Structure formats: structure tokens, C-alpha cells
Amino acid sequence: MAYEIFFQTLLISLSLMGAPNKLKPITVVDAPLTLDRGAAKRIFISGFAGKVQVSSQSKSMQVSIHATRYIEVDDPNSDNADALRQIAIKTGVVEESFEIKVQLPPQRSGWNQWAQGKHVPQVKLEISAPDGIPLDIYWTRGDVDVESWHGSVSVTNQSGDLNLSDITGDVTVKTMFGGAKFENIRGNVNIENFSSHLNLASINGRVKLRTFSGETVLKKIKGNLNINSQKGAVTTQSTDGAMEIQTGLAAIKILEHQGSIRGHSEAGAIEAKIMGAVDAKLNSVSGPLSIAVPSKSQANVSMTTAKGDLVAPKVLERKRSPLGKVVRGNLSGSEQGVLRLTSDSGDLSLKVH
């Protein structure tokens, strides 16, 4: 069932990408709404297509909503423009949730037409609300922006660009196509991604990333990292915390890392530059492993590859064994550490910087 839903949403997204280019826009601006949040303990926002912008107004207990409906059609005078009036924007407190829902019309014929990418009505929501409570957004297609929010943020999005900045609270994101930017997050970050391009910077908290494809860049992360990528290249810079890596074909490049590293690669290359004490254990099937450690390190080193090549400082002992090529020994610095690299057929490299 999960695979059926995935492929249905994939077909919808691809059909929407193929919509005609020479269309004429029709726009309707709704009257602003201002509602009391009441006793709601979370804010829930959902919709099909358009844009969502959420910002905080900490000094008020009211939620302000500005909605703009828009559609692009071949003929502005056609009945297709009526689709704007068929969109229902429902608001109110349901149990402990303040809900803002953009609902499509119940007629199956209208839904089928939009799902095929013809004259898709969209809504832009500009919302300012009191923060300090969880924010949940389910938006099928379109951009989502959340800024300066105190409280956890959860976003589920099929396609579009996500921009989450200045968040104090845990962040959870599930996305498929598009791009995502996370900046200045003080909380744990959990991301499940299909092929979006991801950029994370200035994160103070644990980061857990699971991605299939799409490039990922992580900078200035202070907290443990768990990275699992099948095909999408991952680059990290200025990270501080325990790091765990799983990669299939993806190349993983780690720059200026402080903390332990544990990882496994099938065929993807793992390259790491360690800045502090060395505590690294990596293995691969065929992917090359390349590590650079500080000159002050006296790490105990063991490197073994059955069929690959070995590059290591001359201070280490080289020999052959039934396991293949082996390098062992201690580096010539003064700071203790441990380095273990093993591979079936991948090349292994150790350098001192």
C-alpha cells in the first residue's frame, strides 16, 4: 500500500511539472482573518498546492491568516476560474489543535482534473501566530517557510522548497522533491528525504539524516550526526559530535570534524579530515576510505584491505597476511587515539595534516 501511494504522488508531481507554460493568472485575495488560539496545544496546517509562510508573534494569543488564491488558466473567462471559489479554507480549534486546512472540493471530477495537472488552484497562506507550541505542516506541493519559531516544527512535503530558520525546538521533515534549507536550529533535526537538495547550517542538536538521492551539505553542526545515504553525495564541514555513516553509492566527504566516526560503505567513497582526538572505525566492501589525522596524533592504527591499495605514513609497519595487505602501528605524535580501516577491495589511505 505504501508503494502504491508513493507512485501515485510521484505521477501527480510529474504531471504537474508538465503543465502548460503560457497560462494567464487569476488571483483572489481573501479578507484577513484574526482568531484566538484559545487552549490549543499545537498548530496544524494542511493543503494541496501553493505556499505557506509562518512567523511568530509572541506578544499575542491570536492567529492572523492572510490567504491569496490563484490559478493559471488558458482562458480567464472559462469556467475553470470557478475552481478558486471551490477551495475551502477551514479554521478553528479541534480538541487541542488550532487547525488551518485548505480543502479541495469534494467532487471527484474536480480532483481528477487537478491531479492530472490541469488548471491547479493554489493558495498562499501567510500566518503569524503565538509560538511556544508544536507546529505541524502537511503541504503536498509548494514552498514552506518557517522563521523565528519557539517550539517543535514538523513538515511533510511532496515537492517544493523548504526554508526553516531561527527555530528553537526539534525539527522533523519528510520531503521528496525540491530543496530544503535549515539554518540556526537549536534542537534535534530528523530528515527523511527522497531526492531533494538539502543545506543545513548552524545546528545545535542531534542530526539524523536518511536520504536516497540529492546532494546534502551540513556546516557548523554541534551534536551527534547519523547519516544514511544511498546515492546522494554528502559533505560536512565544522562538525563536533559522534558521527555514524551508512552509504551505498554515495560519496561522503567530512571536513574539519571533531568526535568519533563510525561507518560502513558498500561502494561509495568516504573521506574524512579529523581535527581532534582520533577515534575512527570504518569499513567498506569496495568503496575507498581516506582519512587525514592531526600531526599530534599517536593513534593506534590498523588498516586491512584484501584487494585494494594502501597508503600510510612510513612510521607504520607494512606486511601481508592471509587477510591481504595490512598496516599496523602507532603514529609518531603524543595524543592517543584509535583508527581502524578495513575493506574487501577498496583502497585505504591515511595521511597526517
Confidence of residue 213 (pLDDT cuts 50, 70, 90): very high
Residue 20: band (very low, low, confident or very high) from pLDDT cuts 50, 70, 90: very low
Q: Measure the CA–CA gap between 227 and 234, rounded to whole angstroms.
A: 9
Position 278 pLDDT exceeds 70: yes
Average pLDDT of the segment spanning 344-350 = 98
Convert the pLDDT of each residue in 129-171 to its tens digit. 998 899 999 999 999 999 999 999 999 999 999 999 999 999 9
Query: How far from 152 is each of 42, 133, 321, CA to CA, in Å?
Result: 9, 7, 53
Q: What is the mean pLDDT of residues 70-74?
A: 76
SS3 labels along the chain: CHHHHHHHHHHHHHHHHCCCCCCEEEEEECCCEEEECCCCCEEEEEEEEEEEEEEECCCCCEEEEEEEEEEEECCCCCHHHHHHHHCEEEEEEECCEEEEEEECCCCHHHHHHHHCCCCCCEEEEEEEECCCCCEEEEEEEEEEEEEEEECCEEEEEEEEEEEEEEEECCEEEEEEEEEEEEEEEECCEEEEECCCEEEEEEEECCEEEEECCCCEEEEEEECCEEEEECCCCEEEEEEECCEEEEECCCCEEEEEEECCEEEEECCCCEEEEECCCCEEEEEECCCCEEEEECCCECCEEEEEECCCCEECCCCCEEEEECCEEEEEEECCCCECCEEEEEECCCCEEEEEC
Query: What is the pairing mode between strands 300-305 and 338-343?
Result: parallel
Q: Which of these ranges, 76-90, 124-138, 291-305, 334-348, has the smallest mean pLDDT?
A: 76-90
**Backbone torsions φ then ψ of 297, nearest 5 degrees:** -75, 135
Phi, psi of 116 (to 5 degrees): -85, 5
pLDDT above 50: residue 111: yes
pLDDT exceeds 70 at position 191: yes
Rg of the Cα trace of the chain?
Answer: 25
On the CB side of 348, CA atoms within 13 Å amount to 29
Q: How far apart are CA 104 and CA 335, in angstroms?
A: 63
Per-residue pLDDT at 71? 81
pLDDT of residue 238: 98
